[in-house]
Amino acid sequence: MRALYVVLLAPVLSTLAACGGSTEPQIDTSLKPTSTNVAGSFNLVSANGTAPPFAAFTTSTADWTLVSDTIVVANNTWTEATKYSVLSLLDNSTSTQFTVVSGTYAIANAQINFTMTQGGTVTFPGSVTGDTLTIIFSGRRFLYTRNSP
């Protein structure tokens, strides 16, 4: 139930590891004012500039690759479902894993204020402009596109 942390933090951690302590380029964390039409199903296009699939994280027994991530926003609630491909480091087998987190949101000060209520207790801002959902988490930008009805 930690998909949002994994999706949003894994690119941050892999980026920091790849930098090897060097100064990271500044990322524009500003948000455009949000539309009031925020409802819909949105697919992840990029996490800090990296398109899926991408390495999410590694444990002592498995390499996790984020395959896809979808956020559904409706009726002041949101749900995120993440699909992973998991490579066992023990026997080289591959499996598929899914995680789901959810919460509530409110629109205030021209942005969406997301609050996770299942799978964690973090809050973070976002906005919808046209068919693009932008989320800022830990100083990083995550872009999603709205699915056509």
Q: For residues 126 and 36, give the distance between their C-alpha atoms in angstroms, rounded to a whole number.
A: 12
Quick check: 1 pLDDT over 90?
A: no
In CATH, the number for domain 3-17+35-146 is: 2.40.128.50
| pTM for the whole structure | 0.78
**Which class for 51: exposed (0-12), middle (13-18), buried (19 or more C-beta within 10 A)?**
exposed
pLDDT tens digits for range 39-97: 999 999 999 999 999 999 999 999 999 999 999 999 999 999 999 999 999 999 999 99
**Structure confidence by residue, pLDDT tens digits, 91-116:** 999 999 999 999 999 999 899 999 99
Q: Which residue has the tokens 């996490």?
A: 47
Query: In the chain, where are the structural domains located?
Result: 3-17+35-146
28 vs 9, more confident: 28
Beta-ladder partners of 135:
126, 142
Per the structure block, which two tokens stand in for 143? 């872009």
